Structure 1
Amino acid sequence: MYLFEVWNQLGFSDVYSDVVTSVGRHALEKKRKNLVESLFACYLEGWREVCFSSERLPSLVQRWEPPPLGMFKLNFDGASFGNPGPAGVGGLCRNGEGVVQWAFFGPIGVCDASEAEVKAVFYSIKKISDDCLDKVIIEGDSLNVIRWLKGGVAPPWRFLPFIDEIHEIISGSSAVLKHVRRVANEKADLLAKRGVNSDSLQWFDYLPPISHVLFC
Protein backbone atom coordinates (compact mmCIF):
# COMPACT_ATOMS: atom_id res chain seq x y z
CA MET A 1 0.00 0.00 0.00
CA TYR A 2 2.81 2.41 0.87
CA LEU A 3 4.62 1.90 -2.46
CA PHE A 4 1.35 2.24 -4.38
CA GLU A 5 0.72 5.64 -2.78
CA VAL A 6 4.28 6.77 -3.55
CA TRP A 7 3.86 5.54 -7.13
CA ASN A 8 0.80 7.76 -7.55
CA GLN A 9 2.40 10.72 -5.82
CA LEU A 10 5.45 10.55 -8.07
CA GLY A 11 3.42 10.73 -11.27
CA PHE A 12 2.15 7.30 -12.27
CA SER A 13 -0.89 8.88 -13.88
CA ASP A 14 1.35 11.19 -15.88
CA VAL A 15 3.44 8.25 -17.06
CA TYR A 16 0.32 6.43 -18.18
CA SER A 17 -0.81 9.51 -20.07
CA ASP A 18 2.59 9.73 -21.71
CA VAL A 19 2.23 6.16 -22.97
CA VAL A 20 -0.85 7.23 -24.86
CA THR A 21 0.11 10.72 -26.01
CA SER A 22 3.92 10.91 -26.00
CA VAL A 23 5.59 11.96 -29.22
CA GLY A 24 9.04 11.11 -27.91
CA ARG A 25 10.04 7.65 -26.68
CA HIS A 26 13.25 9.02 -25.17
CA ALA A 27 11.38 11.40 -22.82
CA LEU A 28 9.11 8.56 -21.66
CA GLU A 29 12.01 6.21 -20.91
CA LYS A 30 13.81 8.94 -18.97
CA LYS A 31 10.73 9.59 -16.85
CA ARG A 32 10.31 5.89 -16.16
CA LYS A 33 13.93 5.62 -15.06
CA ASN A 34 13.57 8.57 -12.67
CA LEU A 35 10.36 7.12 -11.29
CA VAL A 36 11.91 3.72 -10.59
CA GLU A 37 14.92 5.33 -8.91
CA SER A 38 12.62 7.42 -6.69
CA LEU A 39 10.53 4.40 -5.71
CA PHE A 40 13.64 2.40 -4.86
CA ALA A 41 14.98 5.25 -2.73
CA CYS A 42 11.69 5.43 -0.81
CA TYR A 43 11.78 1.65 -0.34
CA LEU A 44 15.29 1.78 1.12
CA GLU A 45 14.40 4.69 3.39
CA GLY A 46 11.39 2.78 4.74
CA TRP A 47 13.50 -0.26 5.57
CA ARG A 48 16.19 1.95 7.10
CA GLU A 49 13.60 3.35 9.54
CA VAL A 50 12.40 -0.15 10.44
CA CYS A 51 15.85 -1.65 10.91
CA PHE A 52 17.62 1.21 12.66
CA SER A 53 14.87 3.00 14.56
CA SER A 54 15.65 3.56 18.25
CA GLU A 55 11.98 2.90 19.06
CA ARG A 56 11.69 -0.71 17.99
CA LEU A 57 8.79 -2.74 19.31
CA PRO A 58 9.95 -5.08 22.09
CA SER A 59 10.29 -8.72 21.11
CA LEU A 60 7.82 -11.02 22.80
CA VAL A 61 8.73 -14.08 24.82
CA GLN A 62 8.33 -17.15 22.58
CA ARG A 63 8.03 -19.75 25.35
CA TRP A 64 7.36 -19.86 29.06
CA GLU A 65 10.44 -19.30 31.20
CA PRO A 66 10.67 -19.67 34.99
CA PRO A 67 11.23 -16.54 37.05
CA PRO A 68 14.49 -15.96 38.93
CA LEU A 69 14.91 -18.08 42.05
CA GLY A 70 13.07 -16.59 44.98
CA MET A 71 10.40 -15.06 42.73
CA PHE A 72 7.06 -16.21 41.34
CA LYS A 73 5.44 -15.98 37.94
CA LEU A 74 1.69 -15.63 37.52
CA ASN A 75 0.09 -16.46 34.17
CA PHE A 76 -3.57 -15.67 33.51
CA ASP A 77 -5.98 -16.03 30.61
CA GLY A 78 -9.62 -15.73 29.68
CA ALA A 79 -11.63 -17.65 27.08
CA SER A 80 -14.92 -16.88 25.35
CA PHE A 81 -16.55 -19.38 23.01
CA GLY A 82 -18.52 -17.03 20.78
CA ASN A 83 -17.16 -13.61 21.81
CA PRO A 84 -19.56 -12.90 23.36
CA GLY A 85 -20.43 -16.39 24.47
CA PRO A 86 -19.91 -18.83 27.35
CA ALA A 87 -16.68 -17.75 29.01
CA GLY A 88 -14.14 -18.95 31.53
CA VAL A 89 -11.03 -17.86 33.38
CA GLY A 90 -7.85 -19.62 34.41
CA GLY A 91 -4.44 -19.00 35.83
CA LEU A 92 -1.53 -20.46 37.74
CA CYS A 93 1.46 -19.36 39.79
CA ARG A 94 4.88 -21.06 39.58
CA ASN A 95 8.13 -20.54 41.44
CA GLY A 96 11.68 -20.19 40.16
CA GLU A 97 11.97 -23.95 39.68
CA GLY A 98 8.76 -24.09 37.64
CA VAL A 99 6.79 -25.79 40.43
CA VAL A 100 3.10 -24.89 40.54
CA GLN A 101 2.12 -23.12 43.75
CA TRP A 102 -1.54 -22.83 42.88
CA ALA A 103 -3.86 -22.90 39.88
CA PHE A 104 -7.51 -22.21 39.17
CA PHE A 105 -10.23 -22.25 36.54
CA GLY A 106 -13.93 -21.49 36.47
CA PRO A 107 -16.91 -20.15 34.49
CA ILE A 108 -17.93 -16.50 34.43
CA GLY A 109 -21.16 -16.65 32.44
CA VAL A 110 -21.57 -15.06 29.02
CA CYS A 111 -19.18 -12.26 28.00
CA ASP A 112 -16.59 -11.26 25.42
CA ALA A 113 -12.90 -12.15 25.41
CA SER A 114 -11.74 -8.82 26.85
CA GLU A 115 -13.99 -9.13 29.89
CA ALA A 116 -12.81 -12.71 30.40
CA GLU A 117 -9.17 -11.56 30.35
CA VAL A 118 -9.83 -8.77 32.85
CA LYS A 119 -11.65 -11.09 35.25
CA ALA A 120 -8.89 -13.70 34.91
CA VAL A 121 -6.16 -11.29 36.03
CA PHE A 122 -8.51 -9.90 38.70
CA TYR A 123 -9.01 -13.32 40.33
CA SER A 124 -5.31 -14.14 39.93
CA ILE A 125 -3.98 -11.00 41.59
CA LYS A 126 -6.48 -11.19 44.45
CA LYS A 127 -5.06 -14.64 45.22
CA ILE A 128 -1.50 -13.35 45.63
CA SER A 129 -0.63 -12.70 49.25
CA ASP A 130 0.77 -9.31 50.22
CA ASP A 131 4.22 -10.70 51.00
CA CYS A 132 4.54 -12.06 47.44
CA LEU A 133 3.64 -8.91 45.51
CA ASP A 134 7.23 -7.71 45.49
CA LYS A 135 8.35 -11.07 44.12
CA VAL A 136 5.87 -11.67 41.30
CA ILE A 137 5.95 -11.34 37.51
CA ILE A 138 2.48 -11.19 35.97
CA GLU A 139 2.17 -12.42 32.39
CA GLY A 140 -0.76 -12.47 29.98
CA ASP A 141 -1.26 -12.74 26.23
CA SER A 142 -3.78 -9.88 25.99
CA LEU A 143 -1.88 -6.74 25.01
CA ASN A 144 -4.89 -4.53 25.77
CA VAL A 145 -5.23 -5.80 29.33
CA ILE A 146 -1.51 -5.39 30.06
CA ARG A 147 -1.66 -1.83 28.70
CA TRP A 148 -4.73 -1.06 30.83
CA LEU A 149 -2.99 -2.38 33.92
CA LYS A 150 0.17 -0.40 33.22
CA GLY A 151 -1.90 2.74 32.81
CA GLY A 152 -0.65 3.64 29.36
CA VAL A 153 -4.10 3.21 27.79
CA ALA A 154 -7.46 4.01 29.40
CA PRO A 155 -9.66 0.89 29.78
CA PRO A 156 -13.32 0.81 28.76
CA TRP A 157 -15.49 2.21 31.54
CA ARG A 158 -17.14 -1.18 32.20
CA PHE A 159 -13.77 -2.60 33.31
CA LEU A 160 -12.83 0.28 35.61
CA PRO A 161 -14.04 -1.34 38.87
CA PHE A 162 -11.78 -4.36 38.23
CA ILE A 163 -8.81 -2.32 37.01
CA ASP A 164 -9.07 0.13 39.91
CA GLU A 165 -9.11 -2.66 42.48
CA ILE A 166 -6.13 -4.35 40.85
CA HIS A 167 -4.24 -1.05 40.98
CA GLU A 168 -5.04 -0.76 44.69
CA ILE A 169 -3.67 -4.26 45.32
CA ILE A 170 -0.40 -3.85 43.43
CA SER A 171 0.24 -0.15 44.13
CA GLY A 172 3.49 0.37 45.98
CA SER A 173 4.72 -3.11 45.13
CA SER A 174 7.40 -4.22 42.68
CA ALA A 175 5.07 -6.47 40.70
CA VAL A 176 6.10 -6.68 37.03
CA LEU A 177 3.53 -6.78 34.20
CA LYS A 178 4.52 -8.43 30.90
CA HIS A 179 2.81 -9.19 27.62
CA VAL A 180 3.73 -12.59 26.12
CA ARG A 181 2.70 -14.69 23.16
CA ARG A 182 0.02 -17.32 23.62
CA VAL A 183 2.59 -20.11 23.32
CA ALA A 184 4.26 -18.74 26.47
CA ASN A 185 0.86 -18.65 28.18
CA GLU A 186 -0.33 -22.07 27.09
CA LYS A 187 -1.23 -23.61 30.46
CA ALA A 188 -3.25 -20.59 31.54
CA ASP A 189 -5.01 -20.68 28.16
CA LEU A 190 -5.96 -24.35 28.63
CA LEU A 191 -7.15 -23.71 32.18
CA ALA A 192 -9.39 -20.88 30.97
CA LYS A 193 -10.89 -23.09 28.26
CA ARG A 194 -11.57 -25.79 30.82
CA GLY A 195 -13.20 -23.19 33.02
CA VAL A 196 -15.84 -22.43 30.38
CA ASN A 197 -17.61 -25.75 30.92
CA SER A 198 -16.92 -26.18 34.64
CA ASP A 199 -19.56 -25.82 37.34
CA SER A 200 -17.79 -23.36 39.62
CA LEU A 201 -14.55 -21.52 40.32
CA GLN A 202 -12.04 -24.12 41.58
CA TRP A 203 -8.61 -23.65 43.18
CA PHE A 204 -5.78 -26.19 43.40
CA ASP A 205 -2.33 -26.38 44.93
CA TYR A 206 -1.17 -28.31 41.86
CA LEU A 207 -1.78 -28.19 38.10
CA PRO A 208 -5.06 -30.01 37.40
CA PRO A 209 -5.40 -32.18 34.28
CA ILE A 210 -5.88 -29.96 31.24
CA SER A 211 -4.74 -32.13 28.32
CA HIS A 212 -8.30 -33.26 27.58
CA VAL A 213 -9.72 -29.76 27.19
CA LEU A 214 -12.01 -29.56 24.19
CA PHE A 215 -11.46 -26.59 21.87
CA CYS A 216 -14.67 -25.01 20.61
Structure 2
Amino acid sequence: MDQVNPRLCVKWEAPEPGWFKVKFDGASTGNPGQSGIGCILRNSDGIYIKEISKKIGVATNNEVEFRAALRGLQLRMELGVQRIHLERDSLNVVNAVHYNNTPSWRLNQWLQPILVLLATFNEFRISHIYREGNGEANKLSKMAIVNGDPPLAL
Protein backbone atom coordinates (compact mmCIF):
# COMPACT_ATOMS: atom_id res chain seq x y z
CA MET A 1 0.00 0.00 0.00
CA ASP A 2 1.33 3.44 -0.93
CA GLN A 3 1.84 5.89 1.89
CA VAL A 4 0.78 9.50 1.47
CA ASN A 5 3.36 12.10 2.38
CA PRO A 6 1.68 14.25 5.10
CA ARG A 7 3.37 17.34 3.66
CA LEU A 8 1.27 16.98 0.52
CA CYS A 9 -1.89 17.31 2.62
CA VAL A 10 -0.95 20.62 4.24
CA LYS A 11 -3.60 23.31 3.95
CA TRP A 12 -4.62 26.47 5.74
CA GLU A 13 -6.96 25.91 8.64
CA ALA A 14 -9.05 28.72 10.02
CA PRO A 15 -8.68 29.66 13.67
CA GLU A 16 -11.63 29.42 16.04
CA PRO A 17 -14.30 32.16 15.86
CA GLY A 18 -13.02 35.35 17.45
CA TRP A 19 -9.39 34.41 16.75
CA PHE A 20 -7.02 35.68 14.07
CA LYS A 21 -4.16 33.79 12.47
CA VAL A 22 -0.82 35.29 11.50
CA LYS A 23 1.43 33.36 9.16
CA PHE A 24 4.92 34.79 8.96
CA ASP A 25 8.21 34.04 7.28
CA GLY A 26 11.63 35.47 6.70
CA ALA A 27 13.98 35.02 3.77
CA SER A 28 17.66 35.80 3.42
CA THR A 29 19.93 35.66 0.35
CA GLY A 30 22.85 34.55 2.52
CA ASN A 31 23.70 34.04 6.14
CA PRO A 32 23.91 36.98 6.65
CA GLY A 33 22.47 38.49 3.50
CA GLN A 34 19.81 40.80 2.15
CA SER A 35 16.58 39.85 3.91
CA GLY A 36 12.86 40.34 3.80
CA ILE A 37 9.83 39.42 5.87
CA GLY A 38 6.30 38.43 4.98
CA CYS A 39 3.25 38.37 7.25
CA ILE A 40 -0.38 37.56 6.55
CA LEU A 41 -3.23 38.19 8.98
CA ARG A 42 -6.57 36.46 8.41
CA ASN A 43 -9.72 36.23 10.48
CA SER A 44 -11.60 33.05 11.40
CA ASP A 45 -13.53 33.21 8.11
CA GLY A 46 -10.25 33.10 6.18
CA ILE A 47 -10.59 36.70 5.03
CA TYR A 48 -7.31 38.56 4.52
CA ILE A 49 -7.13 41.46 6.93
CA LYS A 50 -3.62 42.61 6.08
CA GLU A 51 -0.39 41.38 4.57
CA ILE A 52 3.10 42.79 4.78
CA SER A 53 6.13 42.37 2.55
CA LYS A 54 9.10 44.35 3.85
CA LYS A 55 12.79 44.47 3.00
CA ILE A 56 14.81 44.69 6.20
CA GLY A 57 18.40 44.83 4.96
CA VAL A 58 21.21 42.49 6.01
CA ALA A 59 20.34 39.84 8.59
CA THR A 60 21.00 36.19 9.33
CA ASN A 61 18.40 33.58 8.50
CA ASN A 62 17.54 33.18 12.20
CA GLU A 63 17.34 36.93 12.88
CA VAL A 64 14.95 37.46 9.99
CA GLU A 65 12.62 34.76 11.37
CA PHE A 66 12.35 36.55 14.71
CA ARG A 67 11.90 39.92 13.02
CA ALA A 68 9.05 38.50 10.94
CA ALA A 69 7.38 37.20 14.11
CA LEU A 70 7.74 40.59 15.78
CA ARG A 71 6.25 42.41 12.80
CA GLY A 72 3.37 39.95 12.65
CA LEU A 73 2.60 40.67 16.29
CA GLN A 74 2.80 44.41 15.72
CA LEU A 75 -0.16 44.01 13.38
CA ARG A 76 -2.15 43.28 16.52
CA MET A 77 -1.26 46.65 17.96
CA GLU A 78 -2.36 48.34 14.76
CA LEU A 79 -5.63 46.44 14.45
CA GLY A 80 -6.65 45.76 18.05
CA VAL A 81 -6.69 41.96 17.74
CA GLN A 82 -7.02 40.21 21.13
CA ARG A 83 -6.75 36.50 20.26
CA ILE A 84 -3.98 35.45 17.90
CA HIS A 85 -2.60 32.20 16.55
CA LEU A 86 0.90 32.47 15.09
CA GLU A 87 1.90 29.86 12.56
CA ARG A 88 5.43 29.33 11.30
CA ASP A 89 7.37 26.72 9.34
CA SER A 90 10.57 27.09 11.39
CA LEU A 91 10.79 25.67 14.88
CA ASN A 92 13.34 28.30 16.02
CA VAL A 93 10.76 30.96 16.86
CA VAL A 94 8.12 28.46 18.00
CA ASN A 95 10.51 26.81 20.48
CA ALA A 96 11.95 30.13 21.65
CA VAL A 97 8.47 31.40 22.58
CA HIS A 98 7.46 28.11 24.22
CA TYR A 99 10.65 27.85 26.27
CA ASN A 100 11.37 31.59 26.65
CA ASN A 101 14.96 31.31 25.48
CA THR A 102 17.17 31.40 22.40
CA PRO A 103 20.61 29.97 21.71
CA SER A 104 22.21 33.44 21.46
CA TRP A 105 21.96 37.00 22.72
CA ARG A 106 21.54 38.22 19.12
CA LEU A 107 18.29 36.29 18.81
CA ASN A 108 17.28 37.11 22.36
CA GLN A 109 17.21 40.81 21.48
CA TRP A 110 14.34 39.96 19.10
CA LEU A 111 12.66 37.41 21.38
CA GLN A 112 12.20 39.78 24.32
CA PRO A 113 9.98 42.29 22.44
CA ILE A 114 7.99 39.34 21.07
CA LEU A 115 7.35 38.08 24.61
CA VAL A 116 6.37 41.58 25.78
CA LEU A 117 3.81 41.88 22.96
CA LEU A 118 2.45 38.38 23.57
CA ALA A 119 1.78 39.31 27.19
CA THR A 120 -0.65 42.01 25.99
CA PHE A 121 -2.96 39.52 24.26
CA ASN A 122 -6.01 38.03 25.94
CA GLU A 123 -4.93 34.68 24.47
CA PHE A 124 -2.35 33.48 21.98
CA ARG A 125 -1.10 30.29 20.38
CA ILE A 126 2.01 29.59 18.39
CA SER A 127 2.48 26.47 16.34
CA HIS A 128 4.58 24.90 13.63
CA ILE A 129 3.31 24.22 10.12
CA TYR A 130 5.16 22.47 7.33
CA ARG A 131 6.88 24.79 4.85
CA GLU A 132 4.31 23.80 2.22
CA GLY A 133 1.59 25.37 4.36
CA ASN A 134 3.42 28.68 4.68
CA GLY A 135 3.98 29.41 1.00
CA GLU A 136 2.13 32.74 0.91
CA ALA A 137 4.21 34.30 3.68
CA ASN A 138 7.38 32.83 2.15
CA LYS A 139 6.52 34.39 -1.21
CA LEU A 140 5.98 37.80 0.42
CA SER A 141 9.34 37.61 2.23
CA LYS A 142 11.18 36.77 -1.00
CA MET A 143 9.32 39.47 -2.94
CA ALA A 144 10.53 42.03 -0.42
CA ILE A 145 14.17 41.17 -1.12
CA VAL A 146 13.75 41.46 -4.88
CA ASN A 147 11.28 44.33 -5.14
CA GLY A 148 11.95 46.35 -2.02
CA ASP A 149 8.69 47.30 -0.34
CA PRO A 150 5.81 46.45 -2.71
CA PRO A 151 2.37 47.92 -2.08
CA LEU A 152 0.34 46.06 0.52
CA ALA A 153 -2.44 43.94 -0.90
CA LEU A 154 -5.61 44.15 1.14
Q: Which of the five TM-score ranges fits, normalised by the shorter chain?
A: 0.7 to 0.9
Q: Does the 8 A contact of 1:73 with 1:94 survive in 2?
A: yes
Question: Is residue 102 of structure 1 aligned with residue 50 of structure 2?
Answer: yes
Structure 1 residue 155, shift from structure 2 partner: 3.8
Secondary structure at 2:132 match in 1: helix
Supply the RMSD in Å over aligned alpha carbons: 2.2
1:64 aligns with one of 2, 9, 12: 12
Aligned residue for 1:120?
68
Aligned residue for 2:135?
186
Residues of 2 paired with 1:62 and 1:121: CA distance?
Answer: 21
Which structure shows the higher strand fraction? 2
Structure 1 residue 103, shift from structure 2 partner: 0.4
Question: Is residue 82 of structure 1 aligned with residue 30 of structure 2?
Answer: yes
Aligned residue for 2:3?
none
1:196 aligns with one of 141, 145, 149: 145
Residues of 2 paired with 1:167 and 1:131: CA distance?
Answer: 17
Structure 2 unpaired stretches of 5+: 1-5
Which structure shows the higher helix fraction? 1
* Deviation per residue, 1:132-181 (Å, 9 max, x gap): 23x21001111011111222543410122221111111115311011111
Secondary structure at 1:165 match in 2: helix
1:160 is matched by which residue type in structure 2?
A: N
TM norm structure 2: 0.84
2:81 aligns with one of 114, 128, 132: 132
2:126 is matched by which residue type in structure 1?
A: L
1:193 is matched by which residue type in structure 2?
A: K
Aligned residues: 146
Structure 1 unpaired stretches of 5+: 1-58, 207-216
Q: Which has the higher contact order (CA 8 A, sep 6+)?
A: 2
Return structure 1 stretches of 4+ with deviation > 4 angstroms.
none
Work out the percentage of aligned pairs sharing the same amino acid.
Answer: 29
Q: Does the 8 A contact of 2:63 with 2:110 survive in 1?
A: no
In the superposition, relative to structure 1, how do residues 189 and 127 fare at CA in structure 2: closer, same or farther (>3 Å)?
Answer: same
Aligned residue for 1:151?
99
2:125 aligns with one of 159, 165, 176: 176
Residues of 2 paired with 1:170 and 1:152: CA distance?
Answer: 12
Residues of 1 paired with 2:56 and 2:49: CA distance?
Answer: 23
